Structure 1
Amino acid sequence: MSLNLDKTAWKRVQLGDVIRRSRTQADPANRGVDRYVGGGHIDSDSLTIERFGDVNDGQMGSTFTYLFQSGQVLFVSARPYLRKSGVVNFSGVVADKTYVLDAIPENGLLQEFLPFVLASDHFIAYATTEATGSMNPRLLWGQMQGYEFDLPPLDEQQRFADLLWALEKYRLSIQERADRARDVTAVVLRHAWGDERKVAVGDIGECVTGSTPPKANAGYWNSEDVPFYTPSEIEDEFATSARQRVSLAGAKAGRMLPKNAVAVACIGGDLGKSAVVLEPGISNQQITSVIGLPADDAELLQAILAHPLGRAALRARETTTIVRKLNKSDLMKIEVPWPADRRALHTVIQARRTATVSANFEMSRLARLRVALTAEIFGGAE
């Protein structure tokens, strides 16, 4: 898809000439403000900000004093490569490193178009280059104001904004459908947990604890043969591609996990996370896995353990010395809902997976389209 743009009427501007930063401050306790937005509430590459914290939750820092109103744009200046910016539809406060921004229409920029300026690869490349600081680089306001780009006339901005916001609305509708599938699954599993009939995990499959091949043996590690899984690969229902791999000899020094192993993180802050392994590999000793299950049972067991009631059952068995830990023997004793006829549960889990895969594919396609369109409008990364 190409916009076939004629940019002869476009005007070269600096960002600081077409936006203003709101610096209105207030003590939330004395101004009736009940919401705050931190960096963790803003999803990377999102154009809207839906999540927030309660100012009385004890998690808000003392620098959260900058007021924002519905319709304004928030931009997180720290680590701009994370692409955390978007429009809010509520009021609240942010910290000093989050800029509260408005377009200046009389200077040629529409408010509806501003989020796409800040989300473009062209701007992110500039912001990343100009950010200062090594540990937590930040785009200072002065540097942000100096960003130059070609600005279309207002009528063209409106057309572009209408097109790009339509894509975003469609993306959100896809995400909503996927979320509904997850919600239905959660309800079904909650009812399953209410069933008095339970089976110990150790009776469902064989539980094995991983082991790390000796690091001193370079022959074990200088290879791309076999995945080496750690808790960092356990983020969703399926294990992500391993960041490290070992040789075949290294894998023999560990314990091979077959396809459809259910990997459970059993130590520290990752304790309780679980995922199904699709590519056979080995894991470190921070993971205990349940093996010997067919694919449908593996996906069902992972969903049961990942449910809030499953996570609670895992926590109830953990021990705490210096760090939180769940021993293999304790994992084996955890009782979970496991009816003899699991076909209905298999169907629910498969439907959720289908919805998730379909949504991820479509959202990936939309993301590529948005990148292509914004690159045509603003230029690509420099």
Structure 2
Amino acid sequence: MSLDLDKSTWKRVSFGDVVDNVNETVRDADAAGIDRIIAMEHMDPGELKISRWGSPEDGTTFTRRVKPGQTLFGKRRAYQRKVAYAEFEAICSGDIYTFEADESQMLGEFLPFLVQSNEFFDHALDTSAGSLSPRTNWRDLANFEFDLPPLNEQKRLADLLWGVQRHLLAMNAERDAVQATLGHFVRHRLSEMPATIRLGEVATTRSGPSFAASAVNDVPVEGSVPVLGIPNTKPDGTIDLSGVGHVKGLADSVGKIDGSSLVLIRTNGNRQRIGNVYLPPVAAHGHAVSAFQFLMRSLDPANREYLYWVLSEPTMQERMSEAASGSVGLGNLAVRWLNEQQIPWSTDAALRRSIVNEMRELSNVMTSIDSERGTLAALRSAISTTVFGGN
């Protein structure tokens, strides 16, 4: 896109010359009047706003102080792309850097978009060390070089990027509201069903196969099968087929997605993800699922969408999360437990179809919102590439 940029006026600088890595400590949060704690899990990839936090009352070993206007960067597992703009005082994890711009050279509101850029993250990843939990260090980040616009140009670009960001936040809030409405509506409609039936009487469920990492290929090879992994089943309820692994050596009996299929998350460290259910698109037909997921097939394909709405209903989602075995680490949902669940039912197929049709209409609103969110995200990415991606 064209931003009418004259980069001949920009100057080449090192990150450490225009940004300070502030490491102010607070030993007593109460005495300092600080009542919020930010851990890595409170930062969402791609989201600059911090919408949730912990409390010092819950106990913490964190001591790094966060001040409004700072840009926060998750130095551990930088590939998660966790960047945030602080809007309140807090204490944060030692795995989070607190950056402050030298306002004589860089505007604080411009800094988070630089840190969020692909170029900065590529540098962070290239300089990360460690196998299980790689971290990047300040010394290497300080050496990152980029072209810095004059202050007036920074202001113009920051205003543009923050405008897109605010629009995205508004769309996210609208999506959350529609999602809540969907949950309330499907719960109400399902409560009107006249009977129940065992889930195992109307669907079959099996987990995906286990396989060695060495069997996975980035591209199709002879005898390979595309396999959905947890990264392909997104928290927003969508399936992303980019980056699907192609596994060689799977048995012919391994189940593949077809028009009767649903995909559920079977195993996850986040209990709220366990049981999340997905309607695979036609493009996913022929794919298998990983051992961390279930492939569920409706015995009558006509009931597939009805089962999707039954399983995605918030109360059912809570039941599946609570039923996961294991007290720490990964939780697992059992096929036997799923099969025994009594779900709302009617022998009247027309009544089941009516619920599906009503939910389709409501979910179309969600689809429209997601489309606009995607457009905004693409616009933000295009602006970032134009500004930070070189000439």
How far does residue 317 in structure 1 lie from its aligned partner after superposition? 6.4
Q: Does the 8 Å CA contact 1:313/1:334 hold for their aligned counterparts?
A: no
Range that drifts further, 140-149 or 267-276? 267-276
In 1: Cα distance, 2:91 partner to 2:324 partner: 38
Partner of 1:306: 312
Q: Do the aligned partners of residues 194 and 57 (structure 1) sit closer, same or farther apart at CA in structure 2, a change above 3 Å counting?
A: farther
Equivalent in the alignment of 2:13: 13
Q: Does residue 1:76 correspond to 2:74, yes or no?
A: yes
Q: From the superposition, tell whether residues 265 and 200 of structure 1 become closer, same or farther in structure 2 (CA, over 3 Å).
A: farther
User: Per the alignment, in what secondary structure is the counterpart of residue 147 of structure 2?
Assistant: strand
Give 2:91's aligned residue. Answer: 93
> How far off its partner does 1:193 sit?
5.7
Change in 2 beyond 3 A, CA 1:308/1:54: farther
1:336 aligns with 2:339: no
**Does the Cα contact within 8 Å between 1:288 and 1:328 map onto a contact in 2?**
no
Number of corresponding residues: 371
TM-score, length-scaled by structure 2: 0.79
Give yes or no for contact 2:257–2:286 (8 Å, CA) kept in 1.
Answer: yes
Partner of 1:372: 382
The answer on whether the counterparts of 2:129 and 2:136 sit within 8 Å (CA) in structure 1 is: yes
8 Å CA contact 2:107, 2:154 repeated in 1: yes
CA deviation after TM superposition for structure 1 residue 187, in Å: 1.4
Please report how far the alpha carbon of residue 310 of structure 1 lies from its aligned counterpart in structure 2 after TM superposition: 0.5
SS at match of 1:46: coil
Quote how far apart the aligned CAs of 1:238 are: 5.2
CA–CA distance in 1 between the matches of 2:123 and 2:319? 48
Contact 1:202-1:333 within 8 A present in 2 as well: yes
Q: Among the aligned pairs, what percent are the same residue?
A: 27
Residues 224, 250 of structure 2: 8 Å contact kept: no
User: In the alignment, does 2:360 pair up with 1:353?
Assistant: no
Q: 1:203 to 1:52 in 2, by over 3 A?
A: same
1:151 to 124, 127, 148: 148
- Which residue of structure 2 aligns with residue 121 of structure 1? 118
Deviates more, 1:93-102 or 1:262-271: 262-271
Letter in 2 for 1:333: E
Report the 3-state secondary structure (helix = DSSP H, G, I; strand = E; otherwise coil) of the residue aligned with 2:79: helix
Q: 1:235·1:273 contact (CA, 8 Å) conserved in 2?
A: no
Q: Distance in 2 between matches of 1:315 and 1:23?
A: 38
Q: Quote the offset at 1:281 in angstroms.
A: 4.5
**Which residue is equivalent to 2:277?**
274
Q: CA RMSD in A?
A: 3.6
Higher mean alpha-carbon deviation, 4-13 vs 90-99, is at 4-13
Task: Note the C-alpha offset of 1:244.
Answer: 4.6
Q: Where does residue 196 of structure 2 map in the other structure?
A: 199
Amino acid at match of 1:334: Q
Aligned position for 1:184:
181
Structure 1 distance, partners of 2:245, 2:146, is: 41
- C-alpha displacement at 1:184, in angstroms? 0.4
Q: Deviations over 1:47-96 (max 9, x none)?
A: 322222233346x4x2x111212332211122323221121222211012
1:213-267 Cα distance to aligned partner (Å, 9 max, x none): 999xx9xx964665445666554545554945568x9564234553232234556
CA separation in 1, counterparts of 2:25 and 2:68?
16
Please state whether the residue corresponding to 1:101 is helix, strand or coil: strand
What per-residue deviation string (whole Å, max 9, x for no partner) do you get for residues 170-219 of structure 1? 2222222222221101112333465584422437623243574999xx9x
CA contact 1:234–1:275 (8 Å) conserved in 2: yes
Map 1:275-290 onto structure 2 (within 5 A): 275-278=278-281, 279-283=285-289, 287=294, 289-290=296-297
Aligned counterpart, 1:167: 164
Structure 1 pair 150/380, CA: closer, same or farther in 2 (3 Å)? closer
Cα displacement (A) at 1:114: 0.8
- Indicate conservation of the 8 Å contact 2:199/2:343, yes or no: no
Provide the TM-score with structure 1 as the length reference. Answer: 0.81
Runs of 5+ unmatched residues, structure 1 = none
Amino acid at match of 2:160: L
